[in-house]
Structures are given as C-alpha cells and as structure tokens.
Amino acid sequence: MLNLQDSALFRTENYIDGQWVSGGIGHVLVHNPANGEVIAKVTDGDADDATIAVEAAARAFKTWSRMPAQQRATLIRLWYDLIMANADDLGALMTAEQGKPLAEAIGEIEYGASFIEYYAEECKRVKGATIPTIANDRRLQTYKQAVGVVGCITPWNFPSAMIARKAGPAIAAGCTVVIKPDPNTPLSALALCELADRAGIPAGVLNVVVGSDSAAIGKVLTQHPDIAKFSFTGSTAVGRVLMAQCATTVKKISLELGGNAPYIVFDDADIAEAITHCVATKFRNCGQTCVCSNRIYVQSSIAEEFITGLGEAIAALKVADGFADGATLGPLINSKAVEKMDELMADAVEKGAKVLMGGKRHELGQCFYEPTLLTNISPDMRLANEEIFGPIAAVQTFETEEEVVARANDTEFGLAAYFFTRDVGRVMRVSENLEYGIVCSNSGVFSTAVAPFGGWKQSGIGSEGGQEGIADFYATKFHSMGGIDR
C-alpha cells in the first residue's frame, strides 16, 4: 500500500453513475515499472460495463447540459481546488504506477489541473450570435449547445493530464463523459473521480471504466448511438481503427496521435540553451511523450560542439526509481518498451550508427534503459523514421535551411517541431514552412491550457487547449425565426 496522506484516493473499482462498482471480468494487476511489484488489483471492466456507463452518462446529460454555466463552473472549480490540494498524493500514485520521477509527476498533476481551472472559467464565455437579418419579418440566431455524451480513451504516459485535457472542457461545455484509461495506469484516473465526487459533480457526469479488453470497450465508445463525440490520445495505428469505427455512426472525433518531432539547431543558435532544451524535450518522461525530440538535426559547423555538450548534459541525468531523491529519469513503462529500445539500437548499430554513450539496458534492471546518444545516423535506420518513445537521442547533421526543412517535413506525422536560431527572418520562414500543428522556436516548452495542442497530417484531428479545446464539445444550432412583425 502506498503511503498516502489521504488513503481514500487509492481506488480500485470502476466509477459509474456516481458509484464504485466491480468489473465484469475480474481484475487487472497494476505493476510499478521500477521494480515489478504489484501495487494494486483493479477492477477489470468489459463492454457491458462500458455500456452501462454510457447509459448513465446519457441520463445525466439531460440535467447537466441544462445547468447554468455559472453553476457548472463552480463545481468544476472546486474539483480543481481539490486536485491541487492533493497534488502530492496524486503525484505519488502516478509515480508508483507509471514510473516518472515524483517531481515530474506532481508537475503533471498541476499541468492537468490548469486545464480544469481554465475551462471552468471559459465555459461562461461561450456565446452564440445574432446575425443581421435578410428580411424584416425574420430574425437569425445561432446557439452553442453541448454535443452530448463523450467517449474518451486516454494513454499511460500522461495518466492524469490527458484526462484533464479531455474531461475538463467536455463537462464545462455541459457534456458528460465516459473514460477508458490505460490499464497500466488506472489509479490516477480513479483518484480524479474520487475528487470529482467530493466536489459535488453529479452522478453520471464523469465515468471511468478500467478494462483489459480495449477492443471491446473501444467499440462501445466509438459505436454506441448515445455517444456523440469521441476523443482519443494514442498511436496513429490505433487512431485509424477507432476513426473508422466512429464513421459507422458519424460521430464528432478528436484524435491526438503519434509524432516524429524534429529538433533543429542552426549555426547561429544559442548552443547552450539549445542543449538544455534538447535534454528536456528528449528525456522528459524517459522519452515517452508524443512531442519528444525524435530527430535531432544540427548544422554541421556546430555539430561537434553541440554533441559534446549534449553528452555532458545526458551524463548528468540521474536514472533511478521515481521516488528516489534527485531522480531525473525513471523506468520505461514495461518490458515491451525496453525490447523496442533494443530493436532500434540493434538496427541502428548494424547500419553504422556510432554509440557515444548508453545503448543498452540499465544495471538497475526491470524496465530501466541507459540514456543513449548516437551519431552517424542514416535515413534507412528505424529510429530516423519511427517514433522512438524512449531515452535514445540520435543526432543527424545538415548543411542548409532548405535541406533541413525538407527533411523535417518528410514524414507522415505533423505534431510538434522545434528549432533554434537567433535570425528573426529565419524564425518566421522556418515556422511557416514546417508542416506541424505546433512549432516551437528557441524553446522546448510550449504546452499550456490557454493555447491549442494538436497535429497535422496523421498526427491527429482537432485540438486540446485554448478556445479550440472547448469548441468541439459544442454543436452550433442556427435558429431562423419568421413571422416577426415590425
């Protein structure tokens, strides 16, 4: 049992219609990836549980959607306050089930909560419009109305923030939600439900179904007639399948899918700053984010200096259990993720990559992998084309701006891109020419509740964050009123 200040946040049953209920097919074992220990035995829900949750959400929608925005905002703001008050415990739960260092986990709690706070305020500002009439006996108006029940599937790499980014704007808009968290990391999702219940958010508004049969539950959330919108964060391959399933009932969808982020360093960049941000973007969450630096491009004239500095910064990382003092790099999520690192390394080395540091499993064992630095990368290597999702930094060189922009765009993905330069003209040109939904110049930090997060091409559809993040939870209704006497 984890040493929590509030042990009631440790929930192991599904949360459906305001009740804690057992699942239909037994239990899921939740492991600490740092040591392999079983930390929880959580209810394993099935398609029937998901259906019951959707039906509960549909009933709750009838009253929740009609509640004045100010009242919804008050309840959601209280949920935010409770999350922040319990950030330490929520972070500990996340570190135990996901592995990221405790400070990083608490940072995620605060980041996710910021979306709940933002949309509690933003829902009071969503307005329809009065349209200039086309005839004296008519009046034209538009309304914004909550779209309905929202089905969500969230990933293990950000088990709290991804729920907050979806559920926050959804319930603020007046929708109700059914969430399937990843079975590797269900404790964070269930703890958020406990706090939502304490905040007074009515039964059926927020529902969580944990389940190992992802395909069956996914079909309910994508094809049930009472689901009006579906939101998914995960791989592009799975996103394509879910998108096709949503097409059978023509649902609104939001997809935040895979990335293959370029990280470009031009010869006029602040090299020290570029190195600092490169380490942060590459090794955050042990490289397990969709916006991690994936393809690192450095202009050849500064490559030696950059690689030397990057190696020194990587060497300073502390690989440890996420609860250890000073830990900066935790374990990968499971053994399958470690096996992928081995496969990528074997392929790269076979094709001529030079290993400057790391390149193998860490002596800590379990799911730990050494932070790795590679050079001499060729385009035929898997890690030059695939999303790495681990602590491997692979540096390539380039000669010209035109060349590197073309190489950066040569991918089916288009989520996030980074570049460093002190040339203002280049800042404008490169930001406009990169084919990505998010472009970050001279910084590796960009995600915020007040701005949209979403990709181009096969990295997704729609955005989370900002005004765009709540807009898709509304349907626009046009009202044409006739018979108006002057």
For residue 468, pLDDT beyond 70 = yes
Q: What one-character-per-residue DSSP string does 23-56 give?
A: -SS-EEEEE-TTT--EEEEEE---HHHHHHHHHH
The verdict on 410 and 432 lying in the same domain is yes
Exactly one of 193, 290, 292, 367 is catalytic; name it: 290
In a domain, 454, yes or no: no
16-to-11, 34, 126, 165, 186 alpha-carbon distances in Å = 13, 31, 29, 20, 14
In a domain, 483, yes or no: no
What the block records as the tokens of 457 is 């091409």
Question: Which tens digit of pLDDT belongs to each residue from 278-331?
Answer: 999 999 999 999 999 999 999 999 999 999 999 999 999 999 999 999 999 999
Exactly one of 108, 256, 370, 401 is catalytic; name it: 256
Question: Which tens digit of pLDDT belongs to each residue from 41-58?
Answer: 999 999 999 999 999 999
For residue 74, pLDDT beyond 90 = yes
Q: What is the pLDDT of residue 24?
A: 79
In a domain, 220, yes or no: yes
Q: What one-character-per-residue DSSP string does 282-309 give?
A: HHGGGG-STTSEEEEEEEGGGHHHHHHH
Question: Which tens digit of pLDDT belongs to each residue from 178-221?
Answer: 999 999 999 999 999 999 999 999 999 999 999 999 999 999 99
Q: How many domains does the chain have?
A: 2
The verdict on 424 and 437 lying in the same domain is yes
Report residue 1's pLDDT band, with 50, 70 and 90 as the boundaries.
Answer: low
Q: What is the pLDDT of residue 8?
A: 97
In a domain, 346, yes or no: yes
Q: What is the pLDDT of residue 486?
A: 61
The verdict on 195 and 209 lying in the same domain is yes
Lowest mean pLDDT among 93-102, 125-134, 329-338: 125-134
The verdict on 439 and 474 lying in the same domain is no
The CA distance from 449 to 80, in Å, is 13
Can you give the CATH number for the domain in which 216 is found? Answer: 3.40.605.10
The verdict on 286 and 174 lying in the same domain is no
Q: What is the pLDDT of residue 485?
A: 77
For residue 119, pLDDT beyond 90 = yes
What the block records as the tokens of 448 is 């915020």
The percentage of residues in the chain with a pLDDT greater than 90, rounded to a whole number, is 97
The verdict on 172 and 310 lying in the same domain is no
For residue 23, pLDDT beyond 90 = no
Average pLDDT, stretch 386-396? 97
**Burial classification of residue 213, based on how many CB atoms lie within 10 Å of its CB (0-12 exposed, 13-18 middle, 19 or more buried):** middle
In a domain, 108, yes or no: yes
The verdict on 58 and 164 lying in the same domain is yes
Question: Which tens digit of pLDDT belongs to each residue from 106-115?
Answer: 999 999 999 9
Domain with 315, as residue range(s), is 261-448
In a domain, 85, yes or no: yes
In a domain, 1, yes or no: no
Pseudo-torsion of CA 230, 234, 237, 238, nearest 10°? -50
The CA distance from 344 to 388, in Å, is 8
For residue 446, pLDDT beyond 90 = yes
251-to-246, 254, 456 alpha-carbon distances in Å = 6, 10, 20
The verdict on 26 and 158 lying in the same domain is yes
The verdict on 127 and 268 lying in the same domain is no
Q: What is the pLDDT of residue 25?
A: 85
pTM: 0.96
Q: What sign results for the dihedral spanned by CA atoms 75, 81, 87, 88?
A: negative
For residue 68, pLDDT beyond 80 = yes
The verdict on 411 and 316 lying in the same domain is yes
Average pLDDT, stretch 447-467? 96
The CA distance from 229 to 227, in Å, is 6
Query: CB-based contacts of 82: which residues, under 8 Å, 6+ apart?
Result: 195, 198, 199
Q: Is 290 a catalytic residue?
A: yes
Can you give the CATH number for the domain in which 423 is found? Answer: 3.40.309.10
Q: What is the pLDDT of residue 9?
A: 98
The verdict on 253 and 292 lying in the same domain is no
Measured between its terminal Cα atoms, the distance across the chain in Å is: 72
Average pLDDT, stretch 391-403? 98
Q: Is 123 a catalytic residue?
A: no
In a domain, 225, yes or no: yes
Report residue 66's pLDDT band, with 50, 70 and 90 as the boundaries.
Answer: very high
Bridge partners, residue 333, by sequence: none
The CA distance from 92 to 167, in Å, is 22
The verdict on 362 and 415 lying in the same domain is yes
